[in-house]
């Protein structure tokens, strides 16, 4: 399989350069997330997409395992420069464990910045050697969020422009809707 899973320990670089970790809940992964992945791969030789979850409190629609499977299917075009893994706990601890030098965060609108700035400053306090890089999502994804996609899909709305086909199929199966036709299945 081209999109590999993570093993414990450092990432085995196929290409020299810093490893970047792109963390998120990805519940589900959207085309906006994929846009950030493409942008990150233009800068870094290897990116680990890390699905964050709290095994004691996770209220996500999809389990961590379902998210990983969906993400792997959606990212197959990116080959072995991207890996998919899960983690819980502090991001900086995870980044240290896989020897990532950089955290990639996507920004959509100004409203994202304050939260991301606070997280970055705390991460910098906890792990000064790990840098955070912000990448702007493409303009067509500024309003796309996993939360909105789930809400629209729940009511049978058309999410084709916002998620890859793997996500549409899994949303339809999980929610019992047709997410590309704008109406609920009867």
Does residue 146 have an active-site annotation?
Answer: yes
Beta bridge pairs of residue 155: none
The answer to whether 69 and 164 have CB atoms below 8 angstroms apart is: no
Q: Which is catalytic among the residues 6, 33, 39, 72?
A: 33
Does residue 108 have an active-site annotation?
Answer: yes
Does residue 33 have an active-site annotation?
Answer: yes
Q: Which is catalytic among the residues 67, 108, 150, 168?
A: 108
Q: Which is catalytic among the residues 72, 146, 150, 170?
A: 146
Does residue 57 have an active-site annotation?
Answer: yes
Token match 């990448």: residue?
A: 135
The answer to whether 101 and 19 have CB atoms below 8 angstroms apart is: yes
Q: Which is catalytic among the residues 57, 111, 125, 186?
A: 57
| Angstrom distance (rounded) from CA 17 to CA 136 | 22
Tokens standing for residue 104: 């990639």
Return the DSSP state at 3.
Answer: S
Q: Catalytic residue numbers?
A: 33, 57, 108, 146
């Amino acid at each position: 399989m081209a999109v590999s899973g993570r093993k414990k320990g450092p990432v085995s670089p196929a290409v020299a350069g810093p490893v970047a970790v792109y963390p998120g809940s990805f519940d589900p992964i959207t085309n906006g997330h994929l846009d950030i992945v493409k942008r990150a791969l233009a800068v870094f030789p290897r990116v680990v997409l890390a699905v964050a979850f709290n095994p004691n409190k996770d209220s996500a629609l999809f389990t961590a395992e379902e998210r990983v499977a969906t993400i792997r299917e959606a990212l197959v075009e990116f080959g072995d420069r991207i890996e998919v893994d899960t983690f819980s706990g502090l991001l900086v601890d995870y980044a240290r464990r896989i020897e990532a030098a950089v955290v990639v965060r996507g920004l959509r609108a100004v409203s994202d910045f304050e939260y991301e700035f606070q997280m970055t400053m705390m991460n910098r306090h906890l792990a000064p050697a790990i840098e955070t890089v912000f990448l702007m999502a493409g303009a067509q994804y500024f309003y796309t969020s996993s939360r909105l996609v789930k809400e629209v899909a729940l009511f049978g709305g058309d999410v084709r422009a916002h998620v890859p086909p793997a996500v549409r199929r899994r949303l339809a199966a999980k929610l019992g809707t047709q997410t590309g036709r704008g109406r609920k299945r009867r």
